[in-house]
Each structure stands twice: as C-alpha cells, then as structure tokens.
Structure 1
Amino acid sequence: MNDEHQGFKPAEVAMWLLGIILTIQLGWLAYSLGQGIANQPFPEGRGAGASMAAVTETDAQPANGQQLFVGNCGGCHGAAGEGGVGPNLQTAAGWTLAEFTQATLHGVTPDGRELATVMPHFADTGLDGAPAEDAQLEAIHNYLQTLY
C-alpha cells in the first residue's frame, strides 16, 4: 500500500483561491481608483480653460537625439551606446549621416553587410510609432557622435 499523498490538501487549495480572489480585488480597486482620479475635474485655476492645438511646422521643436536614442536604440545598444543585446556603436558613430541612415532604416552597413535580424528596420517600424524623419535620424546620429 502506498501512503504517498497525491494532489493538494484542501487547505492548500483554499489558500490558492484566496490569493486569486485577493489579487482580482486588488486589481479592480486599483482600476477603479485610477478611473475616479482620471474623471475628476481640475481644481479652479489649474487646467481650467486649457485647449489643445495642433502642432504646426513652425511650432515643432527640433528633434532630441538623446531622447530618440534612448527610446528607440538604448534598449539594445545600451544607454550610452556601449552595447548590450546589440553591439557597441562606436564604429557606427564614425559613419556619415547617409551611412547611418541606411543602416538604421534598412539594416545594411556601409560595407554592405546586413545587420542581425533582431535589428529593426526603422523604415518599416518607424521611430516612436511614426515614420522616421530625416531630422530625427540626424539628431540620433549627432547624439551618437557625442558618445565617442
């Protein structure tokens, strides 16, 4: 006769169910509180009368190379281009803007080598969810050059 216990004890099942219920309730509470805060009007004088306006070409701020680099490149290449999942970018810092643009948009280095498949082709994916612009690529290239 085998005395080994098979399955969970009733107390173990009860603890798991309690944990699941508490997790669901905590999530619902956090969601409800967030909705309540989001739906509150601004106090008098704080945000009252604020309006949204489309950014026009003359209102647009110049591209911030550091922000673009951190948001689009730093996750793989490191915050300072030192390497990580992707390689160190010291060599890329020496490329011309045209060479850097070709590599960034299409994944092809100046010597014709294709970059690893993990490297996004930003011509397809865009930067920050929008099509990559020349000014953004130039800003990233300029920032990269300041790192080395």
Structure 2
Amino acid sequence: MSEDRSFSGREIAAVLTFVVLAGATALVSYRSGLNVAGGSGGAEVAAAVASAPVNGQALYVGNCAGCHGAQAQGGVGPGLANSAAWSEADFQAAVLHGKGAGGRTLAPVMPRFAEAGLDGKDATPEQIGAIHAYVKGL
C-alpha cells in the first residue's frame, strides 16, 4: 500500500510564503542591527557593559577562591584575613606582581595578575580595588 502523495498548490504556496517571510524578517533584523548607533553594530551594548560597576565578588570567585577559599579562609594559598588591613597599594602589588606587604616576594604559585590578567583581560586598578573591598567585607 504505497500511496504517492504530492503536495497541493496551496501547501506549496504556504511553505514558500513562510520561507520568504522568514528570510525578509531575518534580513530586516540583521540590517537593523548594523544601523544601531550609526552603524557601529553593538557599540551600545559594549558601552553598557563597560560602564557597569566592577563586581569584586565575581572577580574573587573567578580568580582567587580556588586557592584562597570561598571565604578567603585559605586553602592552597594562605587565608586573606590580614590582607584586609593592607593599603590599596600593598594589595595591588601583591595581586599584580606577587609582592606582599613590606616588599616580600610571594610564593611562585601566586599568579602575577599583571601578566596573567583577570578573566582573560588586563587587570585594572578598579578591579583590584573591587577585590580588595570584597575581601575586606568577608
């Protein structure tokens, strides 16, 4: 019982109409995206992300908690309770260059975030300050 069924003209017209409308919608959406902010295609989104406040907790969790513990209690690396009292400059030197308070060199296992970066990008003073503020609040 094999029955050859062909599509009716109405079914073919409906499918073609759908394809044309979907293509037109995609094209209009694509071209509208290119015209955002004078043709920069997403510059507004990047600017909104760039101006968002730095989240010290998220940076700490993503870059520090693996060694220093979720609550900075220590683990592979030491606890950070004492670093809460460090000056901003001392904290930055430790995080960026592996130099602790008083200029002592930290263990080689401590990443030098000036070279390694935070989250795949160059570390900024604002990010280090946000991490320090988060650690102080623990």
Would you call these one fold, judging by a TM-score over 0.5? yes
Q: How many angstroms does 1:58 deviate by?
A: 8.2
Q: Percent identity?
A: 49
Q: Which has the larger radius of gyration?
A: 2
SS in 2 for 1:56: helix
Equivalent positions of 1:107-122 (< 5 A) are: 107-122=98-113
Query: 1:52-88 CA deviation, whole Å, 9 max, x = no partner?
Result: 6131278521100000000000000001101000000
User: Could you tell me how far apart the structure 2 residues matched to 1:81 and 1:58 are?
Assistant: 28
Moved over 4 A (4+): 49-52
Structure 2: state its 5+ residue gaps: 1-28, 34-40
Aligned with 1:53 (options 42, 51, 54): 42
Aligned pairs, how many? 100
Q: CA RMSD in A?
A: 2.1
User: Could you tell me how far apart the structure 2 residues matched to 1:58 and 1:70 are?
Assistant: 19
User: Could you tell me how far apart the structure 1 residues matched to 2:121 and 2:50 are?
Assistant: 18
Match of residue 62 from structure 1:
53
Flag the 1:92–1:56 CA change in 2: closer, same or farther, 3 A: same
User: Could you tell me how far apart the structure 2 residues matched to 1:81 and 1:69 are?
Assistant: 9
Q: How many angstroms does 1:142 deviate by?
A: 0.4
State the TM-score, normalized to the length of structure 2. Answer: 0.67
State the TM-score, normalized to the length of structure 1. Answer: 0.63
1 or 2, which has the higher helix percentage? 2
